[in-house]
Amino acid sequence: MRPLLPLLRLQSYQRVVSVGFPLNSSLSPGWRGLGAFCIHFLQPLQMSARQGSSLISPMDELLKSSVPQLPPYETKEKCPPPPELQSVHFMQYYRALDKGERAAFIDQLAADFGVDHAQVAELSSKVVQAQQKRDMGTVLQVEDRLRYYLTPQYKVLFCHLGKLEEGMKFLVDMRADILDSVTSKLADGPHIREMSGVLKSMLSEWFSIGFLNLERVTWQSPCEVLQKISEHEAVHPVRNWTDMKRRVGPYRRCYMFAHSAMPGEPLIVLHVALMENISGSIQAIVKGIPCTEAEEASKVKSAIFYSISLTQQGLQGVELGNYLIKRVVKELQEEFPQIEEFSSLSPIPGFTKWLLGVLGSQIKESGRTELFMESECKEIEDITGGTLSESLKCLFASNEWMRSERLVKALEAPLMRLCAWYLYGEKHRGFALNPVANFHLQNGAVLWRLNWMADTSPRGGTASCGMMVNYRYYLKNTSANSAKYLTMKYIEASDQLLNLVSQFTKNSKL
């Protein structure tokens, strides 16, 4: 059925056993068990290879022995858990696989140990029959039984793994592997996506707000925590330890969510700048304050969320960011009651890519673009010495234009109104196309201010032509704004953004 799997399994076990685990008392019981476990399955596999016979592969054997059967409905409350060592062996085996082997393992687990579809079909027909007879007592009983048998077999395994030491971290990492396998096309299909959804649902319960601890990160925090935060910073990469020290120093705050089942592991991290007003430049934030300057509380009037990064990719889709911002706001209000303004300073990933796509499409169809006014086209052509279409392709293919004062000035008006439209008008299923915009708008923030040349780093130039945006959090209105966005897909925006959008609709055509 899967001709590639036996070879992958054999290579995996040969690699694990070749490490050479002497079965002596100097090793922990878990490692001694792993060595015996590998040898137990490797020997018959090697004999099979020599004799040409077809025995059950180690991966098949492991899955059959490790994935518990769904107990009968009548005895679901009395079924004993599987031996702990069996689940430990499962985790050790999986961790020893390489990327391709893990994808094959995940594929087999999802395909062969899901829902019993025959049982579900039978119970579904019984529900219909009971409804036709209008026997509500029987309907409810059969529906309860049906809900139970909709449980995938691998979910029972996940429940047991989640109770083990390091089991929660294992499941988070495993879901990261599932997502990576789908993205890289190593393993895909409805059964894979279903298992990812089941695991996401379980993690959403285990990592709900009541089980999370808010921790402030300082220069005195464990070195391992600082290192992990630095490595997983996804918005503005940390350059060195001095940079990291600045980000947890005076006029800066760094907070993270942690979970008792994953000690020392940041789940999601929020960086905050404490300033006198809402900043429109990221350079002023990440480079502005010496890490030795004394902090004066009287100068703190605004809190700017300038970076939020998920450090556990297996928790994608689990709602953490919204809760983290709300908890941090309460924390800051207690420390600085005088703070009046809460805002983000956010990147605009995807704008340059979107712009190049629209330009390319218009030029291909008509040989020209209608995104720029005639006077703007002439000014850009005069500066570059070429036709507008060719000039724009060359300009946005790199960030060199940001070094020219004339080009920076000439492009400000057209790019500002185009970016405003991208944030406000470009939609996916009725919601904001830009993922960062969608995140903050769901949280109830206002699309408040677009900032020109706010991020002049190569990263900022490539992603959004140097622009950044403030999403303003008016605390009294966030719930109402969130509800309007989620139910009516209405975007609350400031006059500046609405004026730019109006300019776009008058002067540009899509």
Q: What gap in Å lies between CA 206 and CA 317, rounded to an integer?
A: 13
pTM: 0.85
CATH topology of 209-344 equal to that of 351-507?
A: yes
Q: Average per-residue pLDDT in the chain? A: 88
What pLDDT sits at residue 509?
A: 81
pLDDT band at residue 45 using 50, 70 and 90 as cut-offs = very low
| Integer Rg of the chain from CA | 28
What pLDDT sits at residue 291?
A: 63
Kindly report which listed range (31-40, 100-109, 335-344, 381-390) carries the lowest average pLDDT score: 31-40
Asked whether residue 15 carries a pLDDT value surpassing 50, the answer given is no
Model pLDDT for residues 437-454, shown as the tens digit of each residue:
999 999 999 999 999 999
Q: Give one word for 15, left, alpha or beta, with left for phi > 0 and alpha for psi -120 to 50.
A: alpha
Write down the CATH number for the domain with range 351-507: 3.40.630.150
What pLDDT sits at residue 47?
A: 40
Domain map of the chain by residue range? 5-115+151-206, 209-344, 351-507
Asked whether residue 74 carries a pLDDT value surpassing 70, the answer given is yes
Between 293 and 421, the more confident residue is: 421
Q: What gap in Å lies between CA 85 and CA 38, rounded to an integer?
A: 14
What is the SS3 assignment for 370? Answer: coil
Q: What gap in Å lies between CA 68 and CA 157, rounded to an integer?
A: 6
b/e per residue 87-119 (b: at least 16 CB within 10 A): bbbbbbbbebbeebbbbbbbbbbbbbbbbeeeb
Asked whether residue 5 carries a pLDDT value surpassing 50, the answer given is no
b/e per residue 324-333 (b: at least 16 CB within 10 A): bbbbbbeebe
What pLDDT sits at residue 366?
A: 79
pLDDT band at residue 7 using 50, 70 and 90 as cut-offs = very low
For range 300-324, the mean pLDDT: 96
Kindly tell me the sign of the dihedral angle through the C-alpha atoms of 25, 26, 30, 36.
Answer: negative
Q: In CATH, which of 3.40.50.1860, 3.40.1170.60, 1.20.140.90, 3.90.420.10 is domain 5-115+151-206?
A: 1.20.140.90
Report the 10 Å Cβ neighbour count for 13: 24
Catalytic residues: 346, 440
Model pLDDT for residues 210-228, shown as the tens digit of each residue:
999 999 999 999 999 999 9
Write down the CATH number for the domain with range 209-344: 3.40.630.150
What percent of the chain has pLDDT above 70?
A: 88
What pLDDT sits at residue 19?
A: 37
What pLDDT sits at residue 288?
A: 65
Around 144, how many Cα atoms within 13 Å sit in the side-chain half-sphere? 8
Asked whether residue 184 carries a pLDDT value surpassing 80, the answer given is yes
Around 247, how many Cα atoms within 13 Å sit in the side-chain half-sphere? 29
How deeply is 425 buried, as exposed, middle or buried, from its count of CB atoms within 10 A (0-12, 13-18, 19+)?
Answer: middle
b/e per residue 232-251 (b: at least 16 CB within 10 A): bbebbebeeeebbbbbbbeb
pLDDT band at residue 35 using 50, 70 and 90 as cut-offs = very low
Q: What gap in Å lies between CA 305 and CA 272, rounded to an integer?
A: 5
pLDDT band at residue 187 using 50, 70 and 90 as cut-offs = confident
Asked if residues 468 and 282 have their Cβ atoms less than 8 Å apart, the reply is yes
User: Residue 213: what are its φ and ψ, rounded to 5°?
Assistant: -110, 130
The DSSP annotation for 291-352 comes to TTPPP-GGG--EEEEEEEEES-GGGTTSS-HHHHHHHHHHHHHHH-TT--EEEE-B--TTHH
Model pLDDT for residues 452-476, shown as the tens digit of each residue:
999 999 999 999 999 999 999 999 9
Which range has highest mean pLDDT (8-12, 62-66, 344-348)? 344-348
Asked if residues 386 and 365 have their Cβ atoms less than 8 Å apart, the reply is no
pLDDT band at residue 26 using 50, 70 and 90 as cut-offs = very low
| Cβ-proximal residues to 407 (8 Å cutoff; 6+ apart), any chain | 380, 383, 384, 395, 401
The DSSP annotation for 208-229 comes to SGGGEEEEE--TTS-HHHHHHH
